[in-house]
Amino acid sequence: MFGIFKKHKSVDWSAKTFLSPANGKLIPIGKVSDPVFAQKAMGDGFAINPDSNDIYSPVSGKVTLVADTKHGIGISTDDGEEILVHMGIDTVDLNGEPFKVYVSKGDKISAGQKIATMNLDKVESAGKETTIIVVMTNSSDKGMKISLEPVTQIEHSELVAKV
């Protein structure tokens, strides 16, 4: 009645959790086609097959890296986790063309904040995969494992994983 009891989407982030960086299908890290990520050589994490161009931060923290080719963004959380948001597979070859990044190194950002766009059509027409990979690059140093929520389709900024 009057919309008072309507559930509103809100960003619910706390340390040791990850929000989805995009709308799409959740993929366990071991199932991505890039063997470096699939074998967790870069750290534990997860991936999303996106169905929209907008990319959001999975955590709150400070931007520590924006790749020259704009395909990767590094974020350090207040708890010292080092997070990499990697847009697409083998997209470094695209020299930044399909990406627009809205953050810079040194920026403080919030979980759920829009950080970039990836033109999915341009990535696919270049013969590349649009999979967005999120890894904690220092997970093995800290002895941490990421566990996924029991979902397949997910909206950006919804809880997707916990440490």
Sole residue written with tokens 């999915």: 120
> Does 86 participate in catalysis according to the annotation?
yes
Alpha helices in the chain, H assignment, sequence order: 35-38, 120-125, 139-142
3-state secondary structure 92-117: HHHCCCCEEECCCCCCEECCCCEEEE
From the candidates 8, 71, 86, 156, give the one annotated as an active-site residue: 86
Residues 21 and 48: their CA atoms lie apart, in Å, by 8
Tokens at 74, concatenated: 């590094």
Signed CA dihedral, 140, 43, 13, 149: sign only: negative
Active-site positions read 86
